[in-house]
Structure 1
Amino acid sequence: MFRELRRKRQELPLQESIDILMKGTSGVLALSGDEGYPYAVPISYVYRDSKLYFHGAKSGHKIDAVKRQEKASFCVIAQDEVIPEKYTTAYKSVIVFGRIRILEDETEIKEAVEALAIKYHPDGDEAGRQSEIDRFRETLCMMEMSVEHICGKEGLELLRARQ
């Protein structure tokens, strides 16, 4: 169903792609926006158990797009170093395809928001984390993207350096 990478030798092993998702701090979520235009929005996330979790407000363009179409993609750039003399970049990136939904179950919401909070403040205490979550709970919307396909790629310069 999903296309194979055209430059197959530049494809990252699945585990390396997952590692990039685990370590990344932000990416771009691509949705079907208004009037058929693509809508791509930078967003923080957490990857856990083959799912991506995002947060946002309970209303707006992003939420309308998620309600309109469950299919989405998400891209994380792990490395992007310009090599001027070669007119290229040394990069690693991952694109994920899947289906996104707004979480409704309170237990799912709690687990997702806590995972996100721990990712961005791993040394924080539980009381402080809960206080921050409670402060935004009424306006917070949590989304879950079930991963159907992951494809990582690295630039030729990185591939050559490894070989």
Structure 2
Amino acid sequence: MFKEMRRKDRSIDDEQAIELLRKGQYGVLSTVCENGYAYGVPLNYIYHEGNIYFHCAAEGSKLDNIVYNNKVSFCVVGNTEPIPDKFSYRYESVIVFGRAVEVYDKEKEDALVALIQKYSGEFMEKGMEYIRKSGIKAKVIKINIEHLTGKARQ
């Protein structure tokens, strides 16, 4: 169902790819619009309990596209460094394929708490208050991971 990686010599195992998902600061969500165009948008996220979660406003292109077609990809790029004399780069990246679905209730709250812990851990009390006040308005989307590939050049 998913194409094999061309440069298998650069493949990293699932454990390394998941570690990159855990430590990544942002990723690019790619969806398809009704008009057939690809739509990629950078966003912050959390890798939590084997899935990717992100929050968003109650309306917008991301949600419209997910309703149209919930098959998505999500890419995280870790450390990069040019290798000038080789005309190349050191890099690490992971691409996830899956289906995006909105989550509710406890799962939604758990994801929002995990996002606060990742990005604002030293402000948990304030973050919890923010979730109580604003969390109801936010949508939380989960990407159920169906396939992932990781690649690196060291």
Question: Do the two structures share a fold, i.e. TM-score over 0.5?
Answer: yes
Alignment correspondent of 1:161? none
Q: Which runs of 5+ in 2 are unaligned?
A: none
* Partner-residue secondary structure (3-state), 1:147: strand
Cα distance between partner residues in 1 of 2:101 and 2:67: 8
Alignment correspondent of 2:146? 148
Q: How far 1:136 moved relative to its partner?
A: 2.1
Once structures 1 and 2 are overlaid, which stretch shifts more, 110-119 or 127-136?
Answer: 127-136
- Say whether the 8 Å CA contact 1:66–1:102 is kept in structure 2: no
Q: How far 1:111 moved relative to its partner?
A: 1.1
Cα distance between partner residues in 2 of 1:138 and 1:52: 20
Alignment correspondent of 1:19? 19
- Write the deviation string for residues 92-142 of structure 1: whole angstroms up to 9, x where unpaired: 100000010112x211211111111111122233x3121111332243110
* Partner-residue secondary structure (3-state), 1:122: helix
- Say whether the 8 Å CA contact 2:13–2:150 is kept in structure 1: yes
- Write the deviation string for residues 51-91 of structure 1: whole angstroms up to 9, x where unpaired: 00011101011110111111000000012111222211111
Task: Give 1:13's aligned amino acid.
Answer: D
Alignment correspondent of 2:105? 106
Aligned residues: 154
Cα distance between partner residues in 2 of 1:4 and 1:79: 24
Please list, as runs of the form range in 1=range in 2, the aligned pairs for 1:104-143 lying within 5 A after superposition.
105-125=104-124, 127-143=125-141
TM-score scaled by structure 1? 0.89
TM-score scaled by structure 2? 0.94
Cα distance between partner residues in 2 of 1:149 and 1:3: 10
- Say whether the 8 Å CA contact 2:34–2:68 is kept in structure 1: no
- Write the deviation string for residues 33-57 of structure 1: whole angstroms up to 9, x where unpaired: 2411000000000001220001110
* Partner-residue secondary structure (3-state), 1:149: strand
Alignment correspondent of 2:77? 77
Cα distance between partner residues in 1 of 2:14 and 2:41: 25
* Partner-residue secondary structure (3-state), 1:35: coil
- Say whether the 8 Å CA contact 2:73–2:95 is kept in structure 1: yes
